[in-house]
Amino acid sequence: MTFIQSPAMSASRVEWIIDHTPVRYDEAVAVMEARASAIALGEAAECVWLLEHPPLYTAGTSADPAELIAPERFPVFKTGRGGRFTYHGPGQRVAYVMLDLSRRGRDVRAFVQALEAWMIATLGRLGVEGERRDGQIGVFVGEAKIASIGVRVRRWVTMHGVSLNVAPDLEHFSGIMPCGLSSPVTSLAALGAKTDMALVDAALRETFDGVFGRKSVSANDPSPSP
């Protein structure tokens, strides 16, 4: 699936930022919100930010407190993204995707489906067959979830995005009911696939244009700024 784009998008640039050390969640959200505001004003390029977080749980707008099984285990952050509880931590590649939907069709459902298609294409590049499941958001391998998706859209600019389980401690998910599901979670490591984060990042970049449309990509900047 190719994401909707207007003719003007062919000249646009998506900046890729990669952090190699864990970023505090509150700091990441502050940077992401500032960047999204700048994109909405036409003052910054669209952006994909790849990073990891220290161990934590986040509660989306549909989170049920009963699904937080171990509230004292890790810090818990309320967040404006859609969805329920999820876990972030080392060994999980988080991709914060900041795109301007005012130039991409203003279709949030299509955007979420594009994120799923991107994860499936990335997994395929890494030798893993991912798939959607009816009635669920995210990407699965068999019955187990390997990638979660939660987004927020403000002034038609997207925030938050996807988290791909590369080699996290899967036991850390036991403190919540991830995304309200009783199904298990898995990872590239658990499946015996490649887990080198540089290879994962390369696969994410190589498959992005095929889903979201071909466009020039800026050089990496190791330190994000709004």
Predicted confidence (pLDDT) per residue in 64-106, tens digit: 888 888 888 898 988 878 788 899 999 999 999 999 999 998 9
The answer to whether the Cα torsion of 169, 158, 218, 2 is positive or negative is: positive
Distance CA 83, CA 149 (A): 8
Which one is catalytic: 179, 185, 203, 211? 179
Q: How far apart (Å, rounded) are the C-alpha atoms in residues 56 and 172?
A: 9
C-alpha angle 154-64-164 in degrees, rounded to nearest 5: 60
| Residue 47 designated active-site | no
Cβ burial, residue 184 (10 Å; 0-12/13-18/19+): middle
pLDDT digits (tens, 9 = 90+) for 16-50: 999 999 999 999 999 999 999 999 999 999 999 99
The type of residue at 124 is G
User: What is the CATH code for 12-212?
Assistant: 3.30.930.10
Task: Write out pLDDT tens, residues 133-187.
Answer: 988 899 999 999 999 999 999 999 999 999 999 999 999 998 877 655 667 899 9
Model pTM score: 0.86
